[in-house]
Structure 1
C-alpha cells in the first residue's frame, strides 16, 4: 500500500470532494435525515429524564459523582464516604458532578455533559469526513454512528466509555488530518495530542493503546514513517502532559498506592487474569476469550445487518481498498478493529469495550457502500430510515415502560422503592438488608444505612426514629418473625420488599 501523498490527500474544495466521493443527497433527503436525527435526539433527552439509574454501573458512577459534589473533593472520587475510588480517572465523575451542580442532583444533571460529549464527538467526525469525503457522506455517516445501538445507548449514560471515545476519536481524526491537511496540519496535530489527554483522564493508558494500535498498523503496512514528522511531537506531548499529568500526581500524593493499583491492577491483571480477585470495587467480568467479537456484532446493530450486502460484492470491496492511494479505508478498518484486537485475549470484558471502534465502523460502512453502490437508491434510503426510526422506537418504548411500569422490565433500580418510603414519611430512616445498592444511595442522597445482622435489625424497634427496611424477597422467610413484630409490608418493588414501622406514638 502506497504512502500518503500530500498532493493526493490535501483537503479539497467541497465541490471537488463531493465529485471524488460520487455521493450526494437531494435537499429533501437531507431534510428527512436531519428530521430523524432530531427525533433521535429528542427521544434520548426524554430518556435522560425518565430512565432510572440502574444498579450497578450507571448508578455507581452517578453516586460517586454525587458524593464528589457533596464533599467538594474534586481530586479523589469516593467509592464510599472516605473510601477513594481508584478504578478510573475522574473525567466522567467531573462531568457528572458538574452537570448536577448546574442542573441539580437529578438524572438529567448527571447525564447532561455525557450527551454534550457525544454530540461533540459527532461534530468532530462530521467536520473530518466533510473535508475528506463531502458534506452528504459526512451527514449519513454521523446518522449511522448516532443510531448504532451501543453508541445511542451510551450517548447520555453516566459511564467512563463515552468520555474516552471522545478522546480516541479526537486523536484518530487529528492524526490522519494532520498528515493530509497542508494548510492547518498543526491544528489537527494538536487535536491528536489533546485527544490523548482526554483519554488519559477518562480511562487511563488504555485510551493511548486503543489509539496506538490502529496508527501503528496503518503506518507499518503503508510505510508511512516519514509522514509522522508532520506531527508537533514536542509541543503536542507537552500539551498532553499539561492537561493530564497534574491530576495523576495530585491523586497519588493524596492517596498513595493509587498508581500501583490503577496501572498494574486495572490495566494488566484485570484483562489477563481470569477471575481476578484484586478488584476493590466489585467483581471482575469473566467472559470467554474472544467474546469481544460477539459484543462488536451486537453493538453495531442494526447497521451490521448491511454487511451481507457488501460481502456479496467482496471483489469490489477489495478493489476499493486496493485503489485507495490515501489509505483512508485502511485507516478506518484498523481503527474499527482496534478494540477487538486489544480485547480478544482479555478475560474480563464488558460490551462497552467495543465502543471506541464504532465511529470508524460507521464511517467505513457508509464510505464503502457509497464506493460500490454510488448514489443512495430508493431501497437504501428506505432501509436507512427504517433502521434509524426502529432504534428510536425501541429506546422510546423501553424508556416509557421503565418509567411507568418499572417492574415489567425488572429494571434493577431502587427509585420506586425509595420514593414510596419517602411518601410514607419525608423524615423516615431508610435501611437496606443485604448487598449494596448504588441507586438507593443516589435517590436517598446518601441517607441510607446497611444492616447485616439480626442485632442491628432488632435495635431498629427501640430507637426513636421511624424506620423503613428494604429486604430481598428470598431473605424474608428467615427474617419473618422480626419483620412481623414491628413492620408493615408495603409490597414488592422490583427486587425488594419495603417494610415500614407504624407511625411513632
Structure 2
C-alpha cells in the first residue's frame, strides 16, 4: 500500500478528492506570552538586519563585487549583460540578483541600503512562504516557531540582506518545493504554476543548479513513496511554456550579445567548478579548494544555533523514527530530502562555499521544529523555553557584536572595506585618481564610482614619480616601499594604507 492509499483509506471520499496529502502532526501549544516572545525575537532580528543594511559598508570581495556590478548596470544603462568591468561581461551568474540590486539603486540612489533592500525582500518572501506552508500543514503556532528558527539561523540571517546570488535562488527553490506540495495536495491550481515560476526564478538567479537542487529531493521522494502519478497534477504544457518564456529570451540574448557565455556558464560554472579542485578556468577569481564532504561541516555552522537540535533528537532515536513512520503523508521525508539535497549534491565537490547550504535551510528549520515538538513536547516546557531564549540571545549577541564592530571600530577589526579610504582620498585630493596596489578592490571601485584602478608594482613606481596628483591604496607590507617614493602617508584604513602624492600638501 502506498502512502497515498494509506492516507485515503483513513478519509472520506469527498475529502480525498480535495486533500490527498496531509500530515497528521500536532500543532505546538503556545500561550500569549510565548507568542509575544517569538514576535519580539523576529522584531529584534529584523531591526538589527535593517540597521546593518544601512550602516555596514560593502566588504570585499563578494558583496562589494556584486554591488559594483549592479552599480555599473545603473551607470551604463546596460540591463542585458552584467559587467565585471567596463566592457567586460560577467558570465559567472545570471542577472536576477543584479537586476534586483540595480533596481534598488535606480530607485533610491547608489548606496548600501538601496542595493540590499531587494535582497531583504526576497528573504522576507521565503519566510512568508515557510510560515504559510507550515500553517496549512501543521498549525499557526508551529509555523511561527519554524519561521523564527529559520530567520535566526546564522547563514540565513547573514544572507538575508547580503548582495549576492544565493537568496534570490533560495526564493526560487522554496517556491518550487512549497508549490509542488500544495499542487499535489489539492490546494489549488495556482500553486502548480508556482513550481514553474520558482524554476524560472532559480534559472535567472543562479542557473541550472537551482533545477538540480529541486530535482534531487522531488525525485527521491516520488521514488520512495511510489507517488509518481502525482506528477500528472502539474500543468506541464502551460507551465513549461511559462518557464521558457521567462528564461530562454535572456539566455539567448546574452549569448548573442557576448558569444561564449553559454559554454563558459553551463560547462565551466556548472561542471568544472565543482569537479575540478582549484579550477583555473574561473574568469572572475580563484577556485575554492575544500576537502570533499566539507559541505556537511558548512551546514553545521550555517544552521547555528539550531544545528545542535539533531544531537538532541538522537537521544531519542526510537521516538524520532516512530514519528517519521507515523506520518503517512510523507511530509517529514519530503522535508528531510529537501534539507539534505544541497549536501548530497556538493559532497563530492571541492570548489564550494558555505552559502551553498542555503537552499536546504528552510526545510531544515521546519523539520527540526516539527520533530522536536513531536519527540519531546507539543507544549514547550520551562527547559525548552529557557534553551530557546538562550539560543536566540546568543546568536543575536554574535550578530550585534559583528555589526557594531563593522560600524564603530572597523579599523580595529580590519574590516575588508575601502569606504573610509575612498572618503579620505576625496578629502585630501578631490580630483585625484585612486590606484589600488595588490589586486582589485571592489569596495574601492564602488565607493569611488568606478574610478579606482588596480595596478601592478611596475605601474606603481612609474605613477609615484610621475608627479601628477594621485592616491594609492597600498597593502601594509608595502608601505615602507611606498614611503621611499616620497609619498604622503595619510594613515591605515582597514587592510590598506593610503598614500597621496605631495600635491596633497598638509591636507588630511
Could you tell me the TM-score, scaled by structure 2's length?
0.94
Correspondence for 2:3: 3
1:463 deviation in Å?
A: 5.2
Counterparts of 1:413 and 1:299 in 2: how far apart (Å)?
A: 23
Question: Matches of residues 207-356 of structure 1 in structure 2 within 5 Å?
Answer: 207-356=210-359
Counterparts of 1:225 and 1:351 in 2: how far apart (Å)?
A: 33
**8 Å contact kept, 2:119–2:161:** yes
Correspondence for 2:71: 66
**Structure 2 residue matching 1:431: 3-state secondary structure:** strand
- Structure 1 position 379 matched with structure 2 position 349: no
Counterparts of 1:355 and 1:477 in 2: how far apart (Å)?
A: 43
- Structure 1 position 203 matched with structure 2 position 170: no
Counterparts of 1:394 and 1:11 in 2: how far apart (Å)?
A: 48
1:228 deviation in Å?
A: 1.2
1:456 deviation in Å?
A: 5.6
1:504 deviation in Å?
A: 6.5
**8 Å contact kept, 1:12–1:132:** no
**8 Å contact kept, 1:434–1:450:** yes
1:183 deviation in Å?
A: 4.6
User: Which whole-Å deviations, capped at 9, do the CAs of 1:369-405 have from their partners, x for residues lacking one?
Assistant: 1112211112112222222232222112111111111
Counterparts of 1:213 and 1:177 in 2: how far apart (Å)?
A: 18
- Structure 1 position 447 matched with structure 2 position 463: no
Correspondence for 1:117: 122
1:170 deviation in Å?
A: 0.3
Question: Matches of residues 392-403 of structure 1 in structure 2 within 5 Å?
Answer: 392-403=396-407
**Structure 1 residue matching 2:502: 3-state secondary structure:** coil
Q: Which moved more, 1:368-377 or 1:19-28?
A: 19-28
User: Which whole-Å deviations, capped at 9, do the CAs of 1:404-429 have from their partners, x for residues lacking one?
Assistant: 11122222111121121112233232
**Structure 2 residue matching 1:187: 3-state secondary structure:** helix
Correspondence for 1:192: 195
5+ residue gaps, structure 1, are none
**Structure 1 residue matching 2:440: 3-state secondary structure:** coil
**Structure 1 residue matching 2:411: 3-state secondary structure:** helix
Q: 1:468 aligns with which of 468, 471, 481?
A: 471
Q: 1:471 to 1:109 in 2, by over 3 A?
A: same
Correspondence for 1:419: 423
**8 Å contact kept, 1:272–1:347:** yes
- Structure 1 position 429 matched with structure 2 position 433: yes
May I ask how many residue pairs the two structures share in their alignment?
496
Counterparts of 1:229 and 1:254 in 2: how far apart (Å)?
A: 39
Q: Which moved more, 1:419-428 or 1:291-300?
A: 419-428
**8 Å contact kept, 1:291–1:344:** yes
**Structure 2 residue matching 1:406: 3-state secondary structure:** coil
Correspondence for 2:95: 90
Q: 2:29 aligns with which of 24, 36, 46?
A: 24
Correspondence for 1:497: 497
1:24 deviation in Å?
A: 2.3
Q: 1:455 to 1:150 in 2, by over 3 A?
A: closer
Correspondence for 1:151: 156
Counterparts of 2:110 and 2:345 in 1: how far apart (Å)?
A: 37
5+ residue gaps, structure 2, are none
Counterparts of 2:245 and 2:23 in 1: how far apart (Å)?
A: 39
**8 Å contact kept, 1:451–1:457:** no
Could you tell me the TM-score, scaled by structure 1's length?
0.94
1:353 deviation in Å?
A: 0.4
